[in-house]
Amino acid sequence: MASLEFPKGFLWGAATASYQIEGAVNEGGRGPSVWDTFSHTPGKVQNGDNGDVACDHYHRYPEDIDLMSQVGLQAYRFSIAWPRLLPEGTGEVNQEGIDFYNRLIDALIAKGITPCATLFHWDYPQALHDLGGWTHLDAAKWFGDYAELCFKSFGDRIKFWITHNEPWCYAFLGHGIGEHAPGEKDTELMYKVGHGLILGHGEAVARYRALNQGGKIGITTNHQYFPPENPDSELDRRASDQQNDWMNGWFLDPIYFGDYPEYLKRTYPMPEFTPEQSKLISQPTDFMGLNFYASSKVRYNPKSGNEAEQIDDPSLEHTEMGWMVVPDALRDSLVYSQKKWNPKEIFVTENGCAFKDELTGDRVHDDRRVAFLTEYLKAARASIDEGAKLSGYFVWSFLDNFEWAFGYSKRFGITYVDYVTQQRVLKDSALLYRDIIAANSLEPTLAGR
């Protein structure tokens, strides 16, 4: 029987993002982000939803931290809203924004919860986007200046930093197909934006190393795993490699190897790194942040993108996002990532699911999420036995929240949020997670909640 216990010191946490929960978009000196603009553009977000109020975390963070403490979270991953600190993206610092995050960080530490900060989780300052955004020649410097401000303001207490969250999404969804902010549709542009994001990552890492604050820094990318339908088929294997390169290697190969995968350079209009840039972006990081939600087998099909046709299995359970529930794919992705990029350690920085949850009396019986977390955590534990240097797990999300272009129609939280009253209720999945954290083991799942 596979081990149910996690290694000593394994870090248990939950994650959120600023635009998805904070609200207060016009308070405390905050400037507009591209998501403010996008969500207020008719037809861009389901039901016309926006993040103006969201979960009102800006005002209710003490209550939320109390709930985190009840669950027993050891760590909380949140993102800092760039336009809350620098309303124009650069230049004058907004002290009210600094003060808010100081209060948040201090309140977490007072409850024994380790603060883990993401510098960029998509709420890019509108003022900088208007100047050219991540394609501007000064984009990396802008991000470096902002990162350094964060390090100097909060680095005495935050020792776990993530430069970017899922840059693939910001580049592809935001600039390639236009489903996310800023809503642009330009295939060549998306590779230029991705290039700028990678350079910004390198600049932030360099600034952090120069300050010698003694913490950890890395990047979080969204991993999808695409095994070949027929492992004995050379064409299926090639399709698998090409799809994995485009989905995962686009950002990870430059950061670990200093350049894009050869397949991408042959096939797409990838910008080139100078030798100095290659050295900058591939500075050693302390960990790999791995977000995991989806996986599918692929078969060779020359008419599909990357010659890889993704295969949906209707016999498998699907989440409200339409993603197949395939727990073993998390194990396989962790092991694959360890072998290919050999990070010093890996943290699952997001993993979770959206289902239709309803408040019944004073409880939310989210049985499908309980089952999901149980099976995915088993897979995560199994990856350690297969060589993955997995050091922690952050469930997505601590709160139901604004799910980007889906608005408030999808609930990912282990805490239920009534968006009208702002009532919070810990779901059954949160209570299970509490027991797993306390035991540092999956043994509580055997109780058959």
Active centre residues (catalytic):
166, 350
Alpha-carbon gap, residue 353 to 369, rounded angstroms: 7
Which two three-digit tokens encode residue 7?
A: 């290694």
| Integer-rounded Cα radius of gyration of the chain | 21
Asked if residue 191 lies in contact with residue 260, where contact means CB atoms within 8 angstroms, the answer is no
Residue 68 one-letter amino acid: M
Which two three-digit tokens encode residue 315?
A: 């016999």
